Structure 1
Amino acid sequence: MNLEEYATHDAIGLGELVAKGDVSSDELVALAREGIEKTNPALNFLVRELEEPVTGEASGAMGGVPFLVKDMLIQAAGIPQTMGSRALAGDIFSAPHSSELFKRFQKAGLTTIGRTATPEFAFNGTTEPVANGPTRNPWNTSVSSGGSSGGSAAAVAAGVVPLAHGNDGGGSLRIPAAACGLVGLKPSRGRTPLGPDYQLPLMGMVSEFAMTRTTRDSAMLLDLVNGPEANSFVPLAKPETPYSESIKRPMAGLRIAIAPMGFKGEKPTQKSLSDEVRRVGTLLSSMGHNVTDISHIPFEPEQFHTANYRFWMSFLARGVYGLAQALGVEPSTDLFETCTLRGAEAGLKVTAPMIEEGIQIMSGICQQMGTFFSDYDAVVLPPYANLALPLGDSNQNHPDWTIEQYYEELFARFNSTSPFNMTGQPAIAVPTGMVEGVPAGVQIAAPVAREDILLNLSAQLEEGTNWTSRRPGIHVANG
């Protein structure tokens, strides 16, 4: 098998070849390493390549398939982690045990060969940490691969691995998936495990999963890793029908709202992205769904941002000051990026009553969104406000920005994803077309625990748009 043939297969396809004995896991790992050598110098998606892969169970459904994990949150025993920060440079931190999700990736058969780039503490919609430099988009290296799972997205889009881990506290799976033309599912709160060390990171707004090139890979992987763990705070039960089975029977007649401008009261969305939402709405209507144009999703942005700001600042304070205490150092811009540090300083001013009020706001927004979704099975909206963010535009290390300026800039650009983190609803980025030479897709959200709807619609759109035939300029199979 050569790289061109390797890149034509998704994870399920590669796993089947390994199971039949047509190719070995060692051969696949060697091809993935060849792909890294070929594409990483141009894209800079990798922060660590493992000399000795962490192998998965050979009997797993994806046995022997090469895999990458993001350098944030998820822990792999003995593998150094930096979280995109200079404070952890030099391999000074390795977790003593693996996260439950990592163990499930291993049980699925995935063989981990490296860690991918993230902005510092995942606090950006692009991946350009001072510690590692910018990760570039395989479709256009002058623009961002998205963030905060931008390293994983670039690697999958370039054909290095068929799927890679990511996490999502404000859009960090969906934003890079949309930017790089991938499927990026943020599962419902509690659908995938976060323990044993975390249960409600960022006040429960974080979900962990992966990005893939095909819908069936996302469905199968979710089958393999979902379900409560022993100490789960949110023990969401497994579905009665496996996702990989449910996508084989196209749902019909779904009540779908299209919201070309995203959430009411947020910053305007670029016309080409709104037009893509409308085009997809027309396509879904032709597939037999009941589509309604609602322009905007009802929303109270001022309240949302009050709570969201407090949760993020508290998260940064815990990360920066907790890490500094553990390392015996003083937080400074020599170790942390300017806006990270200013966010942490702001987090120290967030009081317990302010967090309690934030949780109350969170509850109200969940109620509001639940009421809205009582009339719809899904809503289609843009994945962000503007197409193709140029590298350098969202600078987490900007020396002159206050944390308020940085927060406003960040959430104005990425204005359509984070509300679903607060509500805990599942949402997915689905590639559907190309605009101005880069992927343009849509985001689809559904009621809590209805990942089956999202994956079913993704499968229908995959067939209807044939996105898997597209290949970026930087790709393992290109000459």
Structure 2
Amino acid sequence: MFDEYAQHDATALAALISRREVSAGEVLDAALARAAQVNPALAAICLPMAPIARERAAGPLAGPFAGVPFLLKDMAQDYAGVPSPSGSRALRHWVPDHYSEVVRRFLDAGLVVFGKTASPEFALKAETSPRVWPQPTRNPWDPARTPGGSSGGAAAAVAAGIVPVAGASDGGGSIRIPASYCGLFGLRPSRGRVPNGPDDAEHWEGASSHHVISRSVRDSARMLDAIAGPEHGAPFVIAPPSQPWAGAIARPPRRLRIGFSTRSPLGTPVHPQCVAAVERAAALLADLGHHVEEAAPAVDGPDLARCYVTMYFGQTAAAMARARALTGAGNDGFELETRILGLLGRAVSAGEYVSRHARWNRFSHALADFHQRYDLYLTPTTAQPPNRIGELDTPPGQQRLARRVLALRAGRLLMLTGMVDELVETSLSRVPFTQLSNLTGTPSMSVPLHWAAVEEGGPELPFGVQFVAPFGDEATLLQLAAQLEQAAPWGGRRPPEP
């Protein structure tokens, strides 16, 4: 077994395999051994694929990550011949007959896929506790807490040392939130940078992007080089970078103007340690020579949240309809909360949906105006530390009410009661900063720069900070991330053994 496995990022592992200092099979054995050691407690991997991985590791491999063990996310990262439940009982045994384009590119990069990581049902939550699996996914830094979502399984697997990098996607913060909760680096690429096909042209109306969660910036940069680029049938082609991102991070960024804010766009509370994370980042940026001052784009936060949840409701209804069409699933195939969201989605008229979607352009213009004055926008990644497992479960009384509403099919009535505004606040108040990047299609990242205990005697938890860049400018984000990684290294920080 390769004893030093956990000390290397994916780039270093690929180099060792390329030099034949270790074989792909030996590295895979180390990854499988680590998974056997920690996954029973964390439930990060929901679908093991060891036989497939062993066969692949034994054959010839090519690409920048040839032989490196890898995990896919159980959401829109389909592997032909392997179940793709998307966190739902309705799709538990559905098996795709083709690869997602992004999975094909992961394979072309030489990665050895040995499993899929847990995601909440249809990627709908910032917590990974889908009922389809026996137990919730846990945060390696504090197993009583969530690793976030929807790429929670991916983040838990990387933080626990099962893999150095794992497949992820982000439709409302689903890369950045778990990266923040688990002390990792997470980059959400621009809309259209990484393909969503062949089944989706623009997943979640273009709000969702595929990429990875990693321990090192260079792994994320090199992975983006490997999977970015247009695909056949894509609705548009985004301009390629002037040079590979792996090359761009070799030099520091220019002196940047960075505006920051620690105020929630919803006017809801922000935890003191989330504020402290931004303050620490701002001081570090100033020490590195960047200009940092308090400023925020002129975006109506509550309006953006309403536009986001309208899309969220509609996408839930569509996901449920797709699952029913594929498997014939009944109501018991879906979680109660998902059924309520689907009911609300069916209650939204086509005109309302289109009108809300059209408002996304306002947010794009407001952010573009901000970027005329500032290169980057800095905020906390989340407004609160990771919640405890079960803390956000729907109370029994509300569950009974939800079942009555579903029986009456009273979705439109529910919309008129004001419950939707309450749902917006309760569902997004913990994570109000990330959706701006999704609706504007801009690239953003979470960088782990702060650790602190949130209760006396409790473990230290990581707190990420978010940077948002203009559309298409992943290079500046990655250059700054590499500079911050050098100035305040996080790769050596590891959670306690479970």
Whether these two folds match at TM > 0.5 is yes
Normalised by the length of structure 2, the TM-score is 0.91
Shift of 1:200: 1.6
Is 1:471 matched with 2:469? no
Structure 1 residues 441 and 201, CA gap change in structure 2 (3 angstroms): same
Shift of 1:262: 4.6
In 2: Cα distance, 1:398 partner to 1:232 partner? 45
SS in 2 for 1:175: helix
Per-residue CA shift, 1:78-102, capped at 9, x if unaligned? 111111111123xx21111101111
Is 1:288 matched with 2:289? yes
Is 1:441 matched with 2:442? no
1:279 alignment partner AA = R
- The counterpart of 2:335, out of the listed 337, 343, 354, is 337
Q: In percent, how many aligned pairs have the same letter?
A: 36
Is 1:356 matched with 2:354? yes
Name 2:75's counterpart in structure 1: 72
- The residue correspondences of 1:74-473 to structure 2 (distance < 5 A) are 74-89=77-92, 92-132=93-133, 133-263=135-265, 265-294=266-295, 296-330=296-330, 332=331, 334-395=332-393, 400=398, 404=420, 405-436=422-453, 437-473=460-496
Structure 1 residue runs without a partner (length 5+): none
Structure 1 residues 189 and 366, CA gap change in structure 2 (3 angstroms): same
SS in 2 for 1:113: strand
In 1: Cα distance, 2:6 partner to 2:235 partner? 39
Shift of 1:400: 1.2
Structure 1 residues 218 and 398, CA gap change in structure 2 (3 angstroms): farther
Structure 1 residues 62 and 203, CA gap change in structure 2 (3 angstroms): same
1:88 alignment partner AA = L
SS in 2 for 1:469: coil
In 2: Cα distance, 1:233 partner to 1:167 partner? 19
Name 2:413's counterpart in structure 1: none
SS in 2 for 1:167: strand
- The counterpart of 1:62, out of the listed 25, 45, 65, is 65
- Tell me if structure 2 keeps the 8 A contact 1:321–1:344: no
Shift of 1:41: 1.1
SS in 2 for 1:137: coil
Between the two proteins, the alignment pairs up a number of residues equal to: 468
- Tell me if structure 2 keeps the 8 A contact 1:223–1:242: yes
Once the two structures are overlaid, the 10-residue window that deviates more, 378-387 or 347-356, is 347-356
Normalised by the length of structure 1, the TM-score is 0.94
In 2: Cα distance, 1:306 partner to 1:432 partner? 31
In 2: Cα distance, 1:262 partner to 1:60 partner? 43
Is 1:9 matched with 2:8? yes
Structure 1 residues 233 and 394, CA gap change in structure 2 (3 angstroms): farther
- Tell me if structure 2 keeps the 8 A contact 1:125–1:175: yes
In 2: Cα distance, 1:248 partner to 1:216 partner? 9
Once the two structures are overlaid, the 10-residue window that deviates more, 171-180 or 360-369, is 360-369
Per-residue CA shift, 1:427-446, capped at 9, x if unaligned? 10111121111111211110
Name 2:412's counterpart in structure 1: none
Per-residue CA shift, 1:37-81, capped at 9, x if unaligned? 000011111111113235487221110000000100121111111
Structure 1 residues 318 and 399, CA gap change in structure 2 (3 angstroms): farther
1:304 alignment partner AA = L
In 1: Cα distance, 2:189 partner to 2:314 partner? 23
- Tell me if structure 2 keeps the 8 A contact 1:142–1:391: yes
- Tell me if structure 2 keeps the 8 A contact 1:262–1:382: no
In 2: Cα distance, 1:177 partner to 1:397 partner? 28
Structure 2 residue runs without a partner (length 5+): 403-418, 454-459
Name 1:47's counterpart in structure 2: 46
In 2: Cα distance, 1:26 partner to 1:110 partner? 12
1:467 alignment partner AA = W
Shift of 1:396: 6.5
Shift of 1:327: 2.2
Shift of 1:184: 0.6
Shift of 1:247: 0.6
Shift of 1:329: 3.7
SS in 2 for 1:457: helix
In 2: Cα distance, 1:398 partner to 1:274 partner? 34
Once the two structures are overlaid, the 10-residue window that deviates more, 61-70 or 252-261, is 252-261
In 2: Cα distance, 1:147 partner to 1:198 partner? 21
2:321 alignment partner AA = Y
- Tell me if structure 2 keeps the 8 A contact 1:177–1:429: yes
- Tell me if structure 2 keeps the 8 A contact 1:262–1:381: no
In 1: Cα distance, 2:318 partner to 2:394 partner? 18
In 2: Cα distance, 1:112 partner to 1:329 partner? 29
